[in-house]
Structures are given as structure tokens and as C-alpha cells.
Amino acid sequence: MEHNKQLYEHLFQAIRKQLESGLARTEGNDAFNIFKVLGIADKEVLICRLLGELLDPKGSHGLGAKPLSLFLERLRIADRFSPGQVAKAHVVLEETIDRDRRIDLVLYLGNEVIPLEVKVWAGDQNKQLYDYYHYFAQARQRNGTFKIYYLTPNGRSPSEISICDPAANQRLTSEQYQCVSFREDVDNWIRRILADCSPRVGVILQQFQEVISDMCSEDIQLQNIREAIHLQEGALKKWEPGSAASHFDGQPDKRVVENDPEGISARSLYI
């Protein structure tokens, strides 16, 4: 099963590259994008660096604490911090916790800590959010209002393997983490920054918005493909010795076709 999982992940990466290649061939002359030219549009670590720079009140964007204040509003926690706390906020990228695990981005404001785990293309790891949450909750002796934030292209929920500890028979509750999306939260946050930033910063942020748009579209397509493969695995079990193989009519699952008007998932059933 682990071997099959690796094969599927390689398949998803290959499909994504094909989608990017096709998009590049069809775009017009006004599609120059520095992120795509340098090949960093899909680099999760570099995307986090850009987010960290924007959130840093001392960042080179020249906007002071304004981007961070706007981001806290998106998270619906801005009223917990004074202007002075926001101005003195500290941003840490890839902070190392126990067992040499690294969380993508951590904001420190006064006595508060706001950890963000970013998932663009990488998959969830066993107990990942569970461990991150308890590490920061214990380190800061937070009360029940503490949350860890989970940022993905379209705001999906973390997987069960990430929020559970099977050995302890425990899992994070929905009150202990908050899903954040590039499509809604980050894109709208950037729109508000664009109203006040310099033209130089504005050009970069507008190109980053294009990256976000592509990222979210590809994420939906990959989710459709994953669903198709999951359904295909179920169909293949019908062909195992002793199974009722004659009941399989060779047609793609209706649920996939209805949710995938372009037919990407349905076609993948016949690969």
C-alpha cells in the first residue's frame, strides 16, 4: 500500500507539471510572471518566506504593521492585540520543535503565539498538527482559546492522521485548529495590502495572486484525480479472486462525473 501511495504521488506531480506546461503554452504576452519564470511558483518553502516577509512589521515592504494587522483580521483575532503588540511582533520561519520537526510559520505577539502550518503540495504527516498544537500549547501554557492554523489552497480540513494520536486515543477538536485558505483568506488579504503598497511591491503581489489562482485550480483538479483513484481501487477489488466481478459494468462512477464536468477524473479511471 505504501508503494502504491508513492506511485500515486508521483502521478499527481507529473499531472500537475503537464497542467502547468499546457497553461504556459496558451497564455498571452502579458503573462510574464517572475514566480513562474524562476520556477518557484510551486515551492512551498519559498511561498512561506514571502508570507513571512509580508507579515513581518519590519519587512522590506515598507508598510510596517499594516499587513499583519490585516492578516489578524482575516483570522478574526485582531481584537486580542494592541497596536503596540502588533508593531513588535516577531515572525519565525520553519521553527524547529521536538523530534526535529519544523512548523512553517510562527507569529509571536506579546505573550501569544500563532502557529501556521502551510500545505500546498506536501501531504499531511502522522500526528503532525496534533504534535504542533500540543507543543505550543504546553510551551506557552495556553488556555482553551489557543489554536493552530492550517493554510491550504482551498481551505480543506487536515487529515485524520494529522490531528490524531492513536496511541493516546485522542484527537484535536475543531475548536483547536482553524482552516485558512489561499483562495479566500490570503487573496483577499493581498487585495487590501495592494490599496496601500508601493507600485514596486504591488507588481510582485499581483503576480503572487496569479500564482494563488493557478494553485487553487490545480488543487481542485488533483483532488478530483485522488477521488477517482480511490474509486478505482474500490472497483479493482471487484476483480479479486472470489469477488463478484461481473457486477462491474465498466462505467465511471457517477459521483465523479457529476463533480468533474471536464471529465478529468472520469478519464483517469481508464488509465
Cα–Cα distance measured from residue 95 to residue 29, given in angstroms and rounded to the nearest whole number: 40
pLDDT of 191 over the 60 cut: yes
Which candidate, 71, 39, 42, 46, places its Cα nearest to that of 56? 71
pLDDT of 246 over the 90 cut: no
pLDDT at 217: 80
Amino acid sitting at position 100: D
Q: Which of 48-62, 91-105, 222-236 has the lowest mean pLDDT?
A: 222-236
CB count within 10 Å of CB 122 equals 12
pLDDT of 67 over the 90 cut: yes
CB count within 10 Å of CB 245 equals 13
| For range 96-113, the mean pLDDT | 89
pLDDT of 57 over the 90 cut: yes
Is residue 84 classed as helix, strand or coil in its secondary structure? Answer: helix
Do 229 and 268 contact (CB within 8 A), yes or no?
A: yes
pLDDT at 111: 86
pTM for the full predicted model: 0.73
H runs (alpha helix) in the chain? 2-26, 34-37, 44-55, 66-74, 83-87, 128-140, 160-163, 187-194, 199-237, 254-259, 264-268
| For range 78-97, the mean pLDDT | 94
Phi, psi of 83 (to 5 degrees): -55, -35
Buried b or exposed e, range 202-227, using 16+ CB within 10 angstroms: eeebebbbebbebbbebbebbbbbbb
Residue 42: enclosing H or E segment and its boundaries?
none
Q: Which of 25-29, 107-111, 177-181, 252-256 has the lowest mean pLDDT?
A: 252-256
For the chain, what percent of residues have pLDDT higher than 90?
51
What do you get for the CA distance between the two ends of the chain, in Å? 19
pLDDT at 186: 97
Residue 255: which pLDDT band, with cuts at 50, 70 and 90?
A: very low
| For range 252-269, the mean pLDDT | 42
Cα–Cα distance measured from residue 214 to residue 219, given in angstroms and rounded to the nearest whole number: 8
Which candidate, 63, 96, 67, places its Cα nearest to that of 189? 67
pLDDT of 25 over the 50 cut: no
pLDDT at 256: 42
Q: For cell 490585516, name the residue.
A: 70
Residue 132: which pLDDT band, with cuts at 50, 70 and 90?
A: very high
pLDDT of 65 over the 50 cut: yes
For the chain, what percent of residues have pLDDT higher than 70?
68
Q: Which of 101-105, 145-149, 166-170, 224-228 has the lowest mean pLDDT?
A: 224-228
pLDDT at 41: 85
Do 207 and 178 contact (CB within 8 A), yes or no?
A: no
C-alpha cell at 242: 472470489
C-alpha cell at 175: 475548536
Say if strands 177-181 and 148-152 run parallel, antiparallel, or are unpaired.
parallel
pLDDT of 199 over the 90 cut: yes
According to the 3-state scheme, what is the secondary structure of 57-121? CCCCCCCCCHHHHHHHHHCCCHHHCCHHHHHCCEEEEEEECHHHCEEEEEEEECCEEEEEEECCC
Cα–Cα distance measured from residue 102 to residue 55, given in angstroms and rounded to the nearest whole number: 19
